[in-house]
Every structure is written in structure tokens, then in C-alpha cells.
Structure 1
Amino acid sequence: MQIAVDAMGGDHAPGEIVRGAVEAARERIADIILVGDQRVLEPELNPLHPPANIDIVHTEQVVAMDEQPALALRRKRDASIMVATRLVKEGRAAAVVSAGSTGAQMAAALLVLGRSGKIQRPAIATLIPTLKGPKLLLDAGANVDCRPEHLLEFAMMGNVYAARVMGIREPRVGLLNIGTEACKGNEQTLGAFNMLKAANLNFIGNIEGRDIFTGDTDVIVCDGFVGNVLLKFGEGMAQALFTMIAGEVKKTLRAKIGAALVLPALRALKKQVDYTEYGGAPLLGVQGVSIICHGSSNARAIKNAIKVAVRCVEEGLVTGLGQLPGVNTGEEVIQCRPC
């Protein structure tokens, strides 16, 4: 299996991207096609003594993080993310992985690959750590303004991903809301609740923010605005907590001794909440596998993202999403009365 990697996208590109790709190739996770400026990539590759199953497709154009995605892609038809996505469309690669501009990757996927089946709104599905292992959250930032039917689509796509890729039988689907009661929320969540309840899903109802980390919900559904804020809040909180702990254990000798005793447990905990362990987030709802990575991804994150891409291809994710029925957007949404 060949995976196309946008070597020019990300805060630490191309160095960390190349390192991660080489590690994946060396471990035979997949054969790698690095897409980017060959004159820049070869000096990064040569000291690593790359294996034979890694190649370069040359292109000099790059979409910067601060560029308007649609406009940039119209002017830069040979941008690295566009070329990498075309490799998937042409069948030369099974998936694309990038840590570059999320907007540019989404735009490239829609322009080149197109939507999957009857899906209206592709969504970013990301794993979040919980007390019962990783669970799926979507949308994590692809759609900031959503209608109730879009949330239903997210739930349907998340259900397929959880079942096929995560191996969860009858995934429990929850709607993120400000209360568990059916009559809580805004027009968007009230309408989505009724649609989800009527759908052929294992819908467990509304869940609150504090319920996420119990791990009792396998697929957590929300719009991209809420999902992205929640995701970054969680990342920031985890970093702040470990910084606070590190500061406290340095204050007294007793604290230092205690910290030494629990250090293995702390390292294991840090690994559980480290985004690099989860690699990347698939863009669900496009006709191909497109894995979106954190902008600050290091080599480990890229290698793990390639693992995610391989898993999505092996489990036939795109085929499963293509079989989803369309959502009827013409019906009036019946909202429950206020409590």
C-alpha cells in the first residue's frame, strides 16, 4: 500500500514530516510517496538513509497556513496538498496524509476526490482519550455552521467509522448538549435530537461536556465550532496540568521523592493524552482517505497518522460511507416544547 504524504505541510515541515515518513517506511507500515520540493527534501532524507520503499514526487508550490484555501488552490494547482490528493484520485496512492492547512486539505479533497455517496458535509473525526479508551468526536472543525440534518450525517459517518475502524459493535451515539433532557439546547440540537432518535442508530440521547471523559459514549456528535473549541481546550488543559504537577513536585524534597515513585504512572498517563499517539483525524465524507494531522505534528505523530490511513483503507471505510442513505432535508423539524 502506498501513502502520499504532504511533506511541505506543518509547523515542523519538512524535517519532522520526512522523519515520520521514513520511520513508517522502514517499519513497513506502508510504502511512502513524499510530495514536495525535491531540492528541499533530499537534504532531509539523505542523512536518514531512507529505505527503498520511499519515493519523491516533485512540486515547488505550497499553500501557507495563513492563505485563504480556495483562492490559494486556484492559483496553485500544483501545491503539495493538491498533488498528493491527485495521487489518491489517480490510484497511485491509497491515502493522503498532511499536517498543513486544514482548510486547504479539505478544499483539495472536495475539489479532487469529491463527496462520498449522498454526504452533504464532510466532517473531521478525531479520537479523544477517556477513562474507557479513545472515543470518537465529530465534527472537530470542518463545519462551524450546521443544520440539524448535518449533525445526523455526522452521527451516521461516525457510526460507520467506529464500527469498521475502531471495531466497536453497535457504537453508542451521543449528542453533545447543555443538558441531558430532550428539551434542552438550541434549535440546532433540538432538531438533531429528533432526527437522531428516529434514525437507525444506537442513540443514547444528549450528553453534557462532563460526560465525555467517562467513555460511556463511543461517538460524540457536535458542530465543528463546538468540537474544535472542545478539542483545543482539552489539549491546553492537559498541558497545563502536567506543567502544574511538574512545578509542584520541585517545591519540596518530599514531593521530589514522591514524584520519583509515581513517575512511571505519570509517564503512562501523559502518553494517553498525547495527541501524537493518535496520529491524525480522517476527513469523513469524501471519496478517498484523507488524514488531517495537527499542525505541530512531530515525526511520531506522522508515523501514527500513516498507520491510521492504512487502517482506514484496509477496513473499507470509504466504501462503508458511500453506502449511507441520504438525509432528507425537506422535512420540517419537529422540536420538543420547552420544559
Structure 2
Amino acid sequence: MLLALDVMGGDNAPAETCRGALMACDRFPDLEVALVGTGSRVAPLIAEASSSVAKRLHVVNAEEVITMDELPSVAIRNKRKSSLRIAMEMVRSGEAQGCISAGNTGAIVAGGVLVVGRIPGIDRPGLGVPLPAIDRLRMLIDVGATVRSKPLNLVQFALMGGLYMRHVLNVADPKVALLANGEEEIKGDDVIAQARDVLRKGPFTFIGYVEGKDIPVGPADVVVCDGFTGNILLKVMEGLGEAVYALLREEMGQRILPKVGMVFMLPMLKELWTRFDYEQYGGTPLLGVRGAVIKAHGRSKAPAIASALGVARDFVLKRGVELISREITQGGM
């Protein structure tokens, strides 16, 4: 299996992205990675790879890079020699079965639509983030691919999220909910209400509305919202986690007893941090396009890149695109 990695995308590129590719190839013997980026910078970074890994790495030179502050649709159209654009063209041509980038989110979404192309019948793609919660993983979709959503978009997000949870993350009976400002049916706007009426007849167990507080501890496996709301919610959750961590360190630095107690709490805290560490889950799938397109966190280091490559590999092996395409063709919703 060949996956195309935009090694120039992200805050820590290309050193960490290349190192992540080495880790992924070491972890998955069936994986080959096309390292798409500035060849002169990439080659020294993989020079120490073992022979078994080196033969599965392929450097694809790219003369341009799409930066984080560029207008997404303009950049993906105009920078045809960029690492992201070339990686996506490899997916479109069938040369690669998926692509991964930690770069500009908007450009990844634009490229997914304009270069890779949408699955026939899908109105707009959705970015689905697997979120670690108290008892299991949950998916929040959409988190930024489609900023303003129609009822049809929310319905299709629910379908794609449910399929991903069932077939890729092995949740036997994924429960789907709409994010609203209350659990009562009188809550939400007309868009959410229209989506609710359709989802009641859908192929997955629909449990109605949930509030933001229910995402970490509630009954839903898939929480559906528009991309504007989802993106803000995701950023708030990330910021809150960082704030709690910073406050804990500050309090411990000022007091003696917490420092002593920390010796006994350290194993528990490490396990807790692992459960909520985005590097363990790697990437966010752009669902609804004709290929495995995975968005890694912009701050990803090598372990997160390796995990993102693993996410793409699983999506390909479990035929995620075909599953979504078949469900849409058969009128799943």
C-alpha cells in the first residue's frame, strides 16, 4: 500500500514528518510512503533508515509549499507544484491510495474537493475527529470542512460518521446525535430540526439532541454539527486541556505536599494523559472524498504523523471510501 505524505506541512516539518514516516514503515511492514516535499531537505532526513524501511520510502520532489496563512482555495489552485497538491494528485490518479498532511486545514479540504473529488452523491465533505472520552472514543463531525451546513449536510455527516465508527473503529451499534443548545425537541434551529426528522429514519440508532457537556460523558458515539460550531468546540476543548495542565503544574510548583503526592500519582497521570493525547489517534479523516485524506494536527511530531499514517492505512484496508459510496448509492439516507 502506497500513501502520499505531505512532508512540508505542519509546524515541525519536514524533520518530524519524515521521522514519523520512518516510524510508520517500521510499524507496518505492508506500508510504502511517498515523501512529497523539497527533495534536498528530505533526503538527509531519511539517510539513516534501515534497509527494510528505506526500500519502502520514495522521495517525490515538490517545488512549492502551501503555508498556514494562505487562502486555501487560491493556494490549492495556483500552487500546482506544492507538496500538498502533488500528494493529492497522486491519490486522484490512483498512484497512491491516500494522503496525509499536517498543513493548512482549509487547503486540505479544498484539495479534497477540487483535486481528489467528492464521492458521487455527497454534497459536502466532513472532517470527523475521534475524541477520547471517559469510557470510549467518540466522533465529532464536522470540525471545519463545511462551515455553514444545510440539513442534507448534517444528515450525510451522520451517515459517514456512523459508517466510520462501525467499520473502522469497530463500534457495533454506533449511536448518533445532533449537537444542540438543549436536549428538548424545541431546541435547535430549523436546519437541525429538519436533519433530526431525516435521521430518525436512518440506518443508525439516532438518540436525538445532545449538549456540549454530553460529548465527553454522554451516550452518543457520533455527535454531528456544522463545521463552524465544531471547530470552535474542538479548539475550546484543546485549550481547556492545556489550561488544566498548566494550572496543575503551577500549583505543584508552589506547594510542597502536592510535590510529594505527585510521586504516587505520576503513573496514573501518565496513563490518563495517554488516553487523551491526540498523538495516539493521529489524524482526522476528511470523509466524503474519493480517497483516504487524513488531516494531522498542525503541531504533530513524529509519533502523531506515524499514527496518522496508520489511520489512513486502516481506512484503506477497511474500504472506507467504498462503504460510503455504496451507502449513498443505495440511498442509506
Q: TM-score, normalised by structure 1?
A: 0.93
* Residue-by-residue CA offset, 1:272-308 (whole Å, 9 max, x unaligned): 1111111000000001110011111111110000010
Correspondence 1:18-97 to 2 at 5 A:
18-28=18-28, 30-47=31-48, 51-97=54-100
**Cα pair 2:17 2:305 within 8 Å, conserved:** yes
1:199 partner SS: coil
- Distance in 2 between residues matched to 1:64 and 1:327, nearest whole Å: 40
Correspondence 1:83-232 to 2 at 5 A:
83-232=86-235
Q: Does 1:278 align with 2:273?
A: no
Aligned residues: 328
How far is the alpha carbon of 1:27 from its aligned partner? 2.4
What is the RMSD computed on CA atoms of the aligned residues? 1.6
- Select between 283-292 and 49-58 the one with higher mean Cα deviation: 49-58
1:325 partner SS: helix
| Aligned position for 1:332 | none
- Select between 117-126 and 38-47 the one with higher mean Cα deviation: 38-47
2:327 partner SS: coil
* Residue-by-residue CA offset, 1:155-207 (whole Å, 9 max, x unaligned): 01111111110111121001111111111112221222222123332100101
2:35 partner SS: strand
* Residue-by-residue CA offset, 1:255-279 (whole Å, 9 max, x unaligned): 1111110011111111111111110
2:3 partner SS: strand
- Distance in 1 between residues matched to 2:203 and 2:17, nearest whole Å: 41
- Select between 62-71 and 134-143 the one with higher mean Cα deviation: 62-71
- Distance in 2 between residues matched to 1:160 and 1:182, nearest whole Å: 25
1:137 partner SS: strand
- Distance in 1 between residues matched to 2:218 and 2:43, nearest whole Å: 44
Gaps of at least 5 residues in structure 1 are 329-339
Partner of residue 248 from structure 1, selected from 227, 246, 251: 251
* Residue-by-residue CA offset, 1:103-137 (whole Å, 9 max, x unaligned): 11122221222111311010001111111111111
How far is the alpha carbon of 1:48 from its aligned partner? 5.2
List structure 1 segments (4+ residues) > 4 angstroms apart after TM superposition: 47-50
User: What is the identity, as a one-letter code, of the residue corresponding to 2:314?
Assistant: R
| Aligned position for 1:5 | 5
- Distance in 2 between residues matched to 1:165 and 1:215, nearest whole Å: 21
